[in-house]
Structure 1
Amino acid sequence: MRLHGKTAIVTGAGSGFGAGIARRFRAEGAEVIVADINADAARAVADDCGGTAQTVDVANGDSVAEMIDAAIRTMGHVDILVNNAGITHLPSLMEDVSEDDFDRVFAVNCKSVYLTARALLPHLKHRGTGAILNIASTAGVSPRPKLNWYNASKGWMITATRAMAVELAPMGIRVNALNPVAGETPLLKSFLGEDTPEMRAKFLSTIPLGRFSTPEDLANAALYLCSDEASMVTGVCMEVDGGRCI
Protein backbone atom coordinates (compact mmCIF):
# COMPACT_ATOMS: atom_id res chain seq x y z
CA MET A 1 0.00 0.00 0.00
CA ARG A 2 2.67 2.46 -1.07
CA LEU A 3 0.10 5.14 -1.97
CA HIS A 4 -2.16 4.69 1.06
CA GLY A 5 -3.96 7.96 1.78
CA LYS A 6 -2.88 9.51 -1.54
CA THR A 7 -5.15 10.82 -4.27
CA ALA A 8 -4.40 10.82 -7.99
CA ILE A 9 -5.69 11.91 -11.38
CA VAL A 10 -4.62 9.81 -14.38
CA THR A 11 -5.50 11.14 -17.83
CA GLY A 12 -5.92 8.86 -20.80
CA ALA A 13 -6.72 6.14 -18.27
CA GLY A 14 -9.41 4.44 -20.31
CA SER A 15 -6.86 2.16 -22.01
CA GLY A 16 -3.19 1.30 -22.41
CA PHE A 17 -0.54 2.75 -20.11
CA GLY A 18 -3.03 5.01 -18.32
CA ALA A 19 -5.33 2.13 -17.43
CA GLY A 20 -2.37 0.15 -16.09
CA ILE A 21 -1.21 3.09 -13.97
CA ALA A 22 -4.73 3.75 -12.61
CA ARG A 23 -5.19 0.10 -11.65
CA ARG A 24 -1.79 -0.10 -9.94
CA PHE A 25 -2.34 3.13 -8.02
CA ARG A 26 -5.69 1.80 -6.77
CA ALA A 27 -4.07 -1.50 -5.77
CA GLU A 28 -1.50 0.48 -3.77
CA GLY A 29 -4.17 2.37 -1.82
CA ALA A 30 -4.72 5.61 -3.72
CA GLU A 31 -8.04 7.17 -4.59
CA VAL A 32 -7.97 7.59 -8.36
CA ILE A 33 -9.81 9.72 -10.89
CA VAL A 34 -9.85 7.70 -14.13
CA ALA A 35 -10.00 10.45 -16.75
CA ASP A 36 -10.45 9.90 -20.48
CA ILE A 37 -12.14 11.50 -23.47
CA ASN A 38 -13.91 8.15 -23.98
CA ALA A 39 -16.52 8.15 -21.21
CA ASP A 40 -17.39 4.46 -21.60
CA ALA A 41 -13.73 3.42 -21.44
CA ALA A 42 -13.12 5.55 -18.34
CA ARG A 43 -16.19 4.09 -16.66
CA ALA A 44 -15.13 0.51 -17.47
CA VAL A 45 -11.66 0.95 -15.96
CA ALA A 46 -13.05 2.82 -12.94
CA ASP A 47 -15.64 0.11 -12.30
CA ASP A 48 -12.97 -2.55 -12.63
CA CYS A 49 -10.49 -1.01 -10.19
CA GLY A 50 -12.73 0.98 -7.87
CA GLY A 51 -11.83 4.43 -9.13
CA THR A 52 -13.99 7.37 -10.18
CA ALA A 53 -14.60 8.00 -13.87
CA GLN A 54 -14.28 11.49 -15.32
CA THR A 55 -14.76 12.51 -18.95
CA VAL A 56 -12.17 15.03 -20.11
CA ASP A 57 -10.77 16.55 -23.28
CA VAL A 58 -7.23 17.38 -22.17
CA ALA A 59 -6.82 19.82 -25.08
CA ASN A 60 -9.73 21.97 -23.85
CA GLY A 61 -9.13 24.39 -20.98
CA ASP A 62 -12.70 24.38 -19.68
CA SER A 63 -12.83 20.58 -19.70
CA VAL A 64 -9.52 20.33 -17.84
CA ALA A 65 -10.64 22.88 -15.23
CA GLU A 66 -13.85 20.91 -14.73
CA MET A 67 -11.81 17.72 -14.21
CA ILE A 68 -9.61 19.34 -11.56
CA ASP A 69 -12.60 20.88 -9.76
CA ALA A 70 -14.43 17.53 -9.80
CA ALA A 71 -11.35 15.75 -8.44
CA ILE A 72 -10.99 18.16 -5.53
CA ARG A 73 -14.71 17.93 -4.75
CA THR A 74 -14.65 14.14 -4.91
CA MET A 75 -11.38 13.41 -3.12
CA GLY A 76 -10.88 16.54 -1.01
CA HIS A 77 -7.46 17.26 -2.45
CA VAL A 78 -5.07 16.06 -5.18
CA ASP A 79 -1.62 14.62 -4.46
CA ILE A 80 -0.66 13.18 -7.84
CA LEU A 81 -1.31 14.07 -11.47
CA VAL A 82 -0.30 11.74 -14.30
CA ASN A 83 -0.40 13.45 -17.71
CA ASN A 84 -0.71 10.28 -19.76
CA ALA A 85 -3.21 11.17 -22.52
CA GLY A 86 -1.49 11.32 -25.88
CA ILE A 87 -1.93 10.75 -29.60
CA THR A 88 0.23 10.46 -32.70
CA HIS A 89 -0.07 11.01 -36.42
CA LEU A 90 0.36 8.12 -38.82
CA PRO A 91 3.89 7.50 -40.12
CA SER A 92 4.44 9.97 -42.92
CA LEU A 93 7.03 12.28 -44.42
CA MET A 94 7.09 15.42 -42.28
CA GLU A 95 5.86 17.67 -45.06
CA ASP A 96 2.90 15.37 -45.74
CA VAL A 97 1.40 15.54 -42.23
CA SER A 98 -1.73 17.69 -42.41
CA GLU A 99 -1.96 20.90 -40.43
CA ASP A 100 -5.00 19.53 -38.60
CA ASP A 101 -3.05 16.44 -37.52
CA PHE A 102 -0.10 18.58 -36.43
CA ASP A 103 -2.35 20.87 -34.36
CA ARG A 104 -4.11 17.92 -32.74
CA VAL A 105 -0.86 16.19 -31.76
CA PHE A 106 0.50 19.33 -30.12
CA ALA A 107 -2.82 20.15 -28.45
CA VAL A 108 -3.13 16.72 -26.84
CA ASN A 109 0.54 16.01 -26.14
CA CYS A 110 1.79 19.51 -25.22
CA LYS A 111 -0.95 22.04 -24.57
CA SER A 112 -2.59 19.58 -22.18
CA VAL A 113 0.43 19.78 -19.85
CA TYR A 114 0.05 23.56 -19.74
CA LEU A 115 -3.71 23.31 -19.17
CA THR A 116 -3.44 20.81 -16.30
CA ALA A 117 -0.66 22.87 -14.71
CA ARG A 118 -2.72 26.04 -14.97
CA ALA A 119 -5.72 24.37 -13.36
CA LEU A 120 -3.98 22.32 -10.64
CA LEU A 121 -0.90 24.25 -9.55
CA PRO A 122 -2.70 26.82 -7.36
CA HIS A 123 -4.09 23.88 -5.36
CA LEU A 124 -0.72 22.09 -5.11
CA LYS A 125 1.13 25.29 -4.20
CA HIS A 126 -1.40 26.03 -1.45
CA ARG A 127 -0.80 22.56 -0.01
CA GLY A 128 2.99 22.76 -0.46
CA THR A 129 3.26 19.26 -1.86
CA GLY A 130 2.46 17.19 -4.93
CA ALA A 131 3.84 15.00 -7.70
CA ILE A 132 3.31 15.44 -11.43
CA LEU A 133 4.30 12.69 -13.85
CA ASN A 134 4.37 13.30 -17.60
CA ILE A 135 4.29 10.30 -19.91
CA ALA A 136 6.66 11.28 -22.73
CA SER A 137 8.36 8.76 -25.04
CA THR A 138 11.64 7.38 -26.31
CA ALA A 139 10.60 9.25 -29.48
CA GLY A 140 11.61 12.44 -27.70
CA VAL A 141 15.08 11.01 -26.96
CA SER A 142 15.87 8.94 -30.04
CA PRO A 143 13.52 10.05 -32.86
CA ARG A 144 12.33 7.66 -35.54
CA PRO A 145 11.81 8.70 -39.17
CA LYS A 146 8.28 9.53 -40.37
CA LEU A 147 6.99 10.33 -36.88
CA ASN A 148 8.67 13.72 -36.87
CA TRP A 149 6.01 15.92 -35.29
CA TYR A 150 5.11 13.26 -32.71
CA ASN A 151 8.83 13.01 -31.88
CA ALA A 152 8.96 16.79 -31.48
CA SER A 153 5.91 16.87 -29.20
CA LYS A 154 7.50 14.33 -26.86
CA GLY A 155 10.79 16.21 -26.88
CA TRP A 156 8.78 19.28 -25.83
CA MET A 157 7.26 17.25 -23.01
CA ILE A 158 10.70 16.21 -21.74
CA THR A 159 11.94 19.81 -21.71
CA ALA A 160 8.72 20.99 -20.07
CA THR A 161 9.17 18.36 -17.36
CA ARG A 162 12.65 19.63 -16.47
CA ALA A 163 11.58 23.27 -16.58
CA MET A 164 8.58 22.56 -14.35
CA ALA A 165 10.75 20.62 -11.92
CA VAL A 166 13.17 23.51 -11.46
CA GLU A 167 10.45 26.11 -10.98
CA LEU A 168 8.22 24.06 -8.69
CA ALA A 169 10.83 22.42 -6.44
CA PRO A 170 10.87 25.31 -3.92
CA MET A 171 7.09 24.83 -3.50
CA GLY A 172 7.50 21.14 -2.60
CA ILE A 173 6.16 19.90 -5.94
CA ARG A 174 8.07 17.21 -7.83
CA VAL A 175 7.81 16.76 -11.62
CA ASN A 176 9.16 13.74 -13.48
CA ALA A 177 8.58 11.93 -16.76
CA LEU A 178 8.62 8.42 -18.18
CA ASN A 179 9.89 7.64 -21.67
CA PRO A 180 8.30 4.34 -22.71
CA VAL A 181 9.15 2.48 -25.86
CA ALA A 182 6.13 1.49 -27.96
CA GLY A 183 3.92 -0.98 -26.15
CA GLU A 184 0.85 -3.14 -26.43
CA THR A 185 -1.55 -0.19 -26.43
CA PRO A 186 -4.11 1.21 -28.90
CA LEU A 187 -1.39 3.50 -30.33
CA LEU A 188 0.86 0.64 -31.45
CA LYS A 189 -0.79 0.27 -34.85
CA SER A 190 -0.37 4.00 -35.48
CA PHE A 191 3.35 3.82 -34.66
CA LEU A 192 3.91 0.83 -36.90
CA GLY A 193 1.76 2.10 -39.77
CA GLU A 194 0.39 -1.42 -40.10
CA ASP A 195 0.31 -4.08 -37.39
CA THR A 196 1.77 -7.11 -39.13
CA PRO A 197 4.19 -9.81 -37.86
CA GLU A 198 6.84 -8.39 -40.18
CA MET A 199 6.46 -4.83 -38.87
CA ARG A 200 6.47 -6.05 -35.27
CA ALA A 201 9.64 -8.06 -35.85
CA LYS A 202 11.34 -5.07 -37.46
CA PHE A 203 10.45 -2.83 -34.53
CA LEU A 204 11.38 -5.41 -31.89
CA SER A 205 14.82 -5.75 -33.46
CA THR A 206 15.55 -2.20 -32.19
CA ILE A 207 14.76 -3.12 -28.55
CA PRO A 208 17.66 -5.00 -26.89
CA LEU A 209 15.39 -6.77 -24.37
CA GLY A 210 13.35 -7.99 -27.29
CA ARG A 211 9.79 -7.11 -26.30
CA PHE A 212 7.33 -4.24 -26.29
CA SER A 213 6.62 -2.34 -23.07
CA THR A 214 3.45 -3.18 -21.15
CA PRO A 215 1.04 -1.14 -19.02
CA GLU A 216 2.46 -3.00 -16.02
CA ASP A 217 6.01 -1.85 -16.85
CA LEU A 218 4.88 1.76 -16.90
CA ALA A 219 2.73 1.33 -13.80
CA ASN A 220 5.70 0.00 -11.81
CA ALA A 221 7.89 2.97 -12.76
CA ALA A 222 5.05 5.46 -12.22
CA LEU A 223 4.37 4.02 -8.77
CA TYR A 224 7.96 4.67 -7.69
CA LEU A 225 8.19 8.20 -9.07
CA CYS A 226 4.84 9.24 -7.58
CA SER A 227 5.42 7.65 -4.17
CA ASP A 228 7.22 9.08 -1.16
CA GLU A 229 10.09 6.70 -1.91
CA ALA A 230 11.08 9.17 -4.65
CA SER A 231 10.86 12.24 -2.41
CA MET A 232 14.34 13.35 -3.53
CA VAL A 233 13.71 12.69 -7.24
CA THR A 234 12.58 15.50 -9.52
CA GLY A 235 13.34 16.48 -13.11
CA VAL A 236 14.07 12.86 -14.05
CA CYS A 237 12.97 11.56 -17.45
CA MET A 238 13.27 7.81 -17.03
CA GLU A 239 13.48 5.46 -20.00
CA VAL A 240 11.29 2.37 -19.73
CA ASP A 241 12.42 1.01 -23.05
CA GLY A 242 14.25 -2.30 -22.83
CA GLY A 243 17.47 -0.56 -23.84
CA ARG A 244 16.03 1.13 -26.95
CA CYS A 245 17.84 4.45 -26.28
CA ILE A 246 21.26 3.03 -25.43
Structure 2
Amino acid sequence: MADGRFDNKVVMITGAASGFGAIAVRRFAAEGARLALSDIAAAGTPEGAEAIVDRVDVTDEAQVAAHAVRTIERFGRIDIAINNAGAGQSPTPLQDMSLDTFERVLAINARGVFLGMKYQLPGMIENRAGVILNIASVAGLRGSPQMSAYLAAKHAVVGLTKAAACEVAHKGIRVNALCPFFAATPMAEEFAANLGARRGGGVEEGMAQLGSGTPMRRVGRPEEIVQAMLWLCDPVNSYTTGQSIAIDGGKTAI
Protein backbone atom coordinates (compact mmCIF):
# COMPACT_ATOMS: atom_id res chain seq x y z
CA MET A 1 0.00 0.00 0.00
CA ALA A 2 1.29 3.46 -0.87
CA ASP A 3 2.39 5.46 2.16
CA GLY A 4 3.81 8.60 0.56
CA ARG A 5 7.41 7.76 1.46
CA PHE A 6 8.57 9.41 -1.77
CA ASP A 7 6.40 12.54 -1.46
CA ASN A 8 7.96 15.34 -3.53
CA LYS A 9 11.10 13.31 -4.21
CA VAL A 10 12.44 13.86 -7.72
CA VAL A 11 12.94 10.41 -9.22
CA MET A 12 14.74 9.91 -12.53
CA ILE A 13 14.08 6.59 -14.30
CA THR A 14 15.71 5.49 -17.56
CA GLY A 15 14.18 2.74 -19.66
CA ALA A 16 10.81 3.95 -18.38
CA ALA A 17 8.63 2.76 -21.27
CA SER A 18 8.43 -0.96 -20.48
CA GLY A 19 9.43 -3.78 -18.17
CA PHE A 20 10.70 -2.91 -14.70
CA GLY A 21 10.88 0.75 -15.65
CA ALA A 22 7.20 1.11 -16.51
CA ILE A 23 6.12 -0.61 -13.29
CA ALA A 24 8.53 1.51 -11.27
CA VAL A 25 7.03 4.66 -12.81
CA ARG A 26 3.59 3.68 -11.53
CA ARG A 27 4.83 2.70 -8.08
CA PHE A 28 6.89 5.83 -7.48
CA ALA A 29 4.05 8.02 -8.77
CA ALA A 30 1.66 6.33 -6.35
CA GLU A 31 4.11 7.15 -3.54
CA GLY A 32 4.06 10.85 -4.38
CA ALA A 33 7.23 11.19 -6.45
CA ARG A 34 7.85 13.75 -9.16
CA LEU A 35 9.23 11.97 -12.19
CA ALA A 36 11.91 12.54 -14.83
CA LEU A 37 11.42 9.74 -17.33
CA SER A 38 13.38 8.72 -20.37
CA ASP A 39 13.46 5.93 -22.90
CA ILE A 40 14.54 5.47 -26.48
CA ALA A 41 10.83 4.82 -27.12
CA ALA A 42 7.90 6.92 -25.95
CA ALA A 43 7.27 6.53 -22.21
CA GLY A 44 3.91 7.18 -20.60
CA THR A 45 3.12 8.78 -17.25
CA PRO A 46 0.45 7.84 -14.71
CA GLU A 47 -2.56 10.13 -14.63
CA GLY A 48 -2.03 13.00 -12.24
CA ALA A 49 1.72 12.50 -11.86
CA GLU A 50 4.02 15.49 -12.16
CA ALA A 51 6.55 14.43 -14.77
CA ILE A 52 8.77 15.29 -17.66
CA VAL A 53 9.38 12.73 -20.40
CA ASP A 54 12.24 12.74 -22.90
CA ARG A 55 13.30 10.37 -25.63
CA VAL A 56 16.89 9.58 -24.73
CA ASP A 57 19.46 7.18 -26.14
CA VAL A 58 21.49 6.39 -23.02
CA THR A 59 24.60 5.79 -25.12
CA ASP A 60 24.52 9.40 -26.39
CA GLU A 61 26.30 11.73 -23.97
CA ALA A 62 24.66 14.90 -25.27
CA GLN A 63 21.16 13.45 -24.86
CA VAL A 64 21.88 12.14 -21.36
CA ALA A 65 23.34 15.48 -20.30
CA ALA A 66 20.41 17.43 -21.76
CA HIS A 67 17.89 15.27 -19.89
CA ALA A 68 19.70 15.88 -16.59
CA VAL A 69 19.78 19.63 -17.24
CA ARG A 70 16.08 19.69 -18.11
CA THR A 71 15.26 17.73 -14.94
CA ILE A 72 17.11 20.17 -12.71
CA GLU A 73 15.63 23.17 -14.53
CA ARG A 74 12.14 21.78 -13.93
CA PHE A 75 12.46 20.33 -10.44
CA GLY A 76 15.59 21.92 -8.98
CA ARG A 77 17.34 18.66 -8.11
CA ILE A 78 17.53 14.89 -8.58
CA ASP A 79 16.86 12.96 -5.37
CA ILE A 80 16.80 9.42 -6.77
CA ALA A 81 18.14 8.11 -10.09
CA ILE A 82 17.36 4.63 -11.37
CA ASN A 83 19.54 3.62 -14.29
CA ASN A 84 17.30 0.90 -15.65
CA ALA A 85 17.73 1.06 -19.45
CA GLY A 86 19.31 -2.08 -20.84
CA ALA A 87 19.47 -4.57 -23.68
CA GLY A 88 20.05 -8.29 -23.90
CA GLN A 89 21.84 -10.53 -26.36
CA SER A 90 21.09 -13.79 -28.09
CA PRO A 91 23.14 -16.76 -26.80
CA THR A 92 26.28 -16.82 -28.94
CA PRO A 93 29.67 -18.50 -28.45
CA LEU A 94 32.26 -15.82 -27.80
CA GLN A 95 34.29 -16.72 -30.88
CA ASP A 96 31.19 -16.29 -33.07
CA MET A 97 30.05 -12.95 -31.66
CA SER A 98 30.45 -9.92 -33.87
CA LEU A 99 32.32 -6.91 -32.56
CA ASP A 100 29.28 -4.77 -33.40
CA THR A 101 27.07 -6.88 -31.12
CA PHE A 102 29.60 -6.84 -28.30
CA GLU A 103 30.02 -3.08 -28.47
CA ARG A 104 26.26 -2.42 -28.72
CA VAL A 105 25.50 -4.50 -25.61
CA LEU A 106 28.35 -2.86 -23.68
CA ALA A 107 27.26 0.61 -24.81
CA ILE A 108 23.62 0.31 -23.72
CA ASN A 109 24.18 -1.57 -20.47
CA ALA A 110 27.50 -0.20 -19.21
CA ARG A 111 28.20 3.10 -20.95
CA GLY A 112 24.57 4.06 -20.36
CA VAL A 113 25.00 3.60 -16.61
CA PHE A 114 28.32 5.46 -16.62
CA LEU A 115 26.85 8.43 -18.48
CA GLY A 116 23.77 8.43 -16.28
CA MET A 117 25.83 8.68 -13.10
CA LYS A 118 28.21 11.20 -14.65
CA TYR A 119 25.34 13.68 -15.02
CA GLN A 120 23.27 12.64 -11.99
CA LEU A 121 26.04 12.96 -9.44
CA PRO A 122 27.08 16.65 -9.66
CA GLY A 123 23.76 17.97 -8.34
CA MET A 124 23.61 15.28 -5.66
CA ILE A 125 27.14 16.14 -4.57
CA GLU A 126 26.20 19.80 -4.37
CA ASN A 127 23.14 18.96 -2.26
CA ARG A 128 25.05 16.33 -0.26
CA ALA A 129 22.16 13.92 -0.68
CA GLY A 130 20.92 11.42 -3.20
CA VAL A 131 20.33 7.80 -4.13
CA ILE A 132 21.42 6.03 -7.31
CA LEU A 133 20.22 2.54 -8.17
CA ASN A 134 21.76 0.76 -11.13
CA ILE A 135 19.90 -2.20 -12.57
CA ALA A 136 22.46 -4.91 -13.18
CA SER A 137 21.66 -8.62 -13.26
CA VAL A 138 22.52 -11.95 -11.75
CA ALA A 139 24.69 -12.08 -14.87
CA GLY A 140 26.85 -9.44 -13.19
CA LEU A 141 27.57 -11.78 -10.28
CA ARG A 142 28.31 -15.11 -11.94
CA GLY A 143 29.22 -16.80 -15.21
CA SER A 144 27.04 -18.22 -17.95
CA PRO A 145 27.98 -19.76 -21.30
CA GLN A 146 27.34 -17.96 -24.59
CA MET A 147 26.44 -14.67 -22.89
CA SER A 148 29.86 -12.97 -22.90
CA ALA A 149 28.75 -9.48 -23.97
CA TYR A 150 25.86 -9.32 -21.52
CA LEU A 151 27.95 -10.70 -18.65
CA ALA A 152 30.78 -8.27 -19.40
CA ALA A 153 28.33 -5.36 -19.40
CA LYS A 154 26.56 -6.33 -16.19
CA HIS A 155 29.84 -7.06 -14.38
CA ALA A 156 30.83 -3.55 -15.45
CA VAL A 157 27.65 -2.13 -13.91
CA VAL A 158 28.48 -3.84 -10.61
CA GLY A 159 32.02 -2.43 -10.76
CA LEU A 160 30.82 1.08 -11.59
CA THR A 161 28.39 0.88 -8.69
CA LYS A 162 31.08 -0.08 -6.19
CA ALA A 163 33.49 2.57 -7.46
CA ALA A 164 30.88 5.35 -7.31
CA ALA A 165 29.66 4.26 -3.87
CA CYS A 166 33.19 4.49 -2.47
CA GLU A 167 33.67 7.94 -4.00
CA VAL A 168 30.49 9.61 -2.78
CA ALA A 169 29.39 7.85 0.42
CA HIS A 170 30.93 10.58 2.57
CA LYS A 171 28.94 13.15 0.58
CA GLY A 172 25.60 11.70 1.67
CA ILE A 173 24.93 9.72 -1.52
CA ARG A 174 24.12 6.02 -1.67
CA VAL A 175 24.82 3.94 -4.80
CA ASN A 176 23.64 0.35 -5.14
CA ALA A 177 22.98 -2.22 -7.84
CA LEU A 178 20.02 -4.54 -8.14
CA CYS A 179 20.78 -7.91 -9.71
CA PRO A 180 17.59 -9.70 -10.75
CA PHE A 181 17.24 -13.08 -12.37
CA PHE A 182 14.84 -13.48 -15.27
CA ALA A 183 11.36 -12.04 -14.73
CA ALA A 184 8.40 -11.82 -17.09
CA THR A 185 9.44 -8.64 -18.92
CA PRO A 186 9.44 -8.17 -22.71
CA MET A 187 13.23 -8.60 -22.87
CA ALA A 188 13.13 -11.84 -20.87
CA GLU A 189 10.15 -13.13 -22.84
CA GLU A 190 12.04 -12.63 -26.10
CA PHE A 191 14.96 -14.61 -24.68
CA ALA A 192 12.59 -17.31 -23.41
CA ALA A 193 10.82 -17.53 -26.78
CA ASN A 194 14.11 -18.31 -28.50
CA LEU A 195 14.98 -20.83 -25.80
CA GLY A 196 11.57 -22.50 -26.00
CA ALA A 197 11.66 -22.64 -29.79
CA ARG A 198 14.78 -24.79 -29.65
CA ARG A 199 12.65 -27.45 -27.97
CA GLY A 200 9.63 -27.02 -30.19
CA GLY A 201 7.78 -24.80 -27.73
CA GLY A 202 7.30 -21.12 -27.03
CA VAL A 203 7.60 -18.48 -24.33
CA GLU A 204 5.97 -20.52 -21.57
CA GLU A 205 8.26 -23.48 -22.19
CA GLY A 206 11.29 -21.19 -22.26
CA MET A 207 10.31 -19.47 -19.03
CA ALA A 208 9.75 -22.81 -17.34
CA GLN A 209 13.18 -23.95 -18.46
CA LEU A 210 14.79 -20.79 -17.11
CA GLY A 211 12.95 -21.04 -13.81
CA SER A 212 13.91 -24.68 -13.35
CA GLY A 213 17.49 -23.55 -12.72
CA THR A 214 16.55 -21.75 -9.47
CA PRO A 215 15.77 -23.28 -6.07
CA MET A 216 12.33 -21.66 -6.25
CA ARG A 217 11.74 -23.35 -9.63
CA ARG A 218 10.31 -20.26 -11.30
CA VAL A 219 11.28 -16.94 -12.82
CA GLY A 220 10.48 -13.74 -10.99
CA ARG A 221 7.43 -11.56 -11.24
CA PRO A 222 8.30 -8.02 -12.36
CA GLU A 223 6.50 -6.61 -9.32
CA GLU A 224 8.86 -8.55 -7.03
CA ILE A 225 11.86 -6.87 -8.65
CA VAL A 226 10.30 -3.41 -8.51
CA GLN A 227 9.43 -3.88 -4.84
CA ALA A 228 13.15 -4.39 -4.20
CA MET A 229 13.89 -1.25 -6.22
CA LEU A 230 11.66 0.80 -3.95
CA TRP A 231 13.21 -0.75 -0.85
CA LEU A 232 16.74 0.16 -1.94
CA CYS A 233 15.62 3.74 -2.67
CA ASP A 234 13.59 4.15 0.52
CA PRO A 235 14.76 7.12 2.63
CA VAL A 236 14.77 4.95 5.77
CA ASN A 237 17.26 2.55 4.15
CA SER A 238 20.11 4.93 4.91
CA TYR A 239 23.05 2.60 5.64
CA THR A 240 23.14 0.44 2.51
CA THR A 241 25.58 1.47 -0.20
CA GLY A 242 28.00 -0.20 -2.60
CA GLN A 243 25.93 -3.38 -2.59
CA SER A 244 24.84 -5.65 -5.43
CA ILE A 245 21.59 -7.21 -4.25
CA ALA A 246 20.47 -10.41 -5.97
CA ILE A 247 16.72 -10.90 -6.36
CA ASP A 248 16.92 -14.27 -8.00
CA GLY A 249 14.85 -17.06 -6.43
CA GLY A 250 18.04 -18.44 -4.89
CA LYS A 251 20.00 -18.71 -8.17
CA THR A 252 23.22 -17.31 -6.72
CA ALA A 253 22.95 -19.63 -3.71
CA ILE A 254 23.55 -22.68 -5.90
Residue aligning to 2:91: 91
Q: How does 1:212-223 map to 2 (within 5 A)?
A: 212-223=219-230
Separation of aligned partners in 2, 1:218 and 1:7: 21
Residue aligning to 2:199: none
Q: How does 1:105-120 map to 2 (within 5 A)?
A: 105-120=105-120
Separation of aligned partners in 2, 1:131 and 1:227: 9
Separation of aligned partners in 2, 1:124 and 1:163: 16
Give CA-to-partner distance per residue, 1:109-144, whole Å, 9 cap, x none.
111122112222211111110000000000111222
Structure 1 pair 21–199 and aligned structure 2 pair: CA distance change class (3 A): same
Separation of aligned partners in 2, 1:28 and 1:218: 17
Residue aligning to 1:241: 248
**TM-score (normalised: structure 2):** 0.90
More RCO (CA 8 Å, sep 6+):
1
* Number of equivalences: 242
- Do structure 1's residue 202 and structure 2's residue 209 form an aligned pair? yes
Separation of aligned partners in 2, 1:199 and 1:212: 10
Separation of aligned partners in 2, 1:66 and 1:227: 27
SS at match of 1:32: strand
Contact map agreement 2:208 2:219 (CA 8 A) in 1: no
Separation of aligned partners in 2, 1:244 and 1:100: 30
Separation of aligned partners in 1, 2:41 and 2:70: 17
Calculate percent identity across the aligned residue pairs. 38
Residue aligning to 1:230: 237
**TM-score (normalised: structure 1):** 0.93
CA drift of 1:194 comes to 3.8
Separation of aligned partners in 1, 2:72 and 2:221: 30
CA drift of 1:199 comes to 2.5
Q: Any stretches of 5+ residues in structure 2 without a counterpart? A: 197-201
Aligned Cα root-mean-square deviation (Å): 1.5
CA drift of 1:180 comes to 0.5
Deviates more, 1:54-63 or 1:117-126: 117-126
Separation of aligned partners in 2, 1:170 and 1:21: 28
Q: Deviation above 4 Å: which 4+ runs of structure 1?
A: none
Separation of aligned partners in 1, 2:215 and 2:138: 14
Structure 1 pair 49–149 and aligned structure 2 pair: CA distance change class (3 A): farther
CA drift of 1:37 comes to 0.4
Contact map agreement 2:189 2:207 (CA 8 A) in 1: no
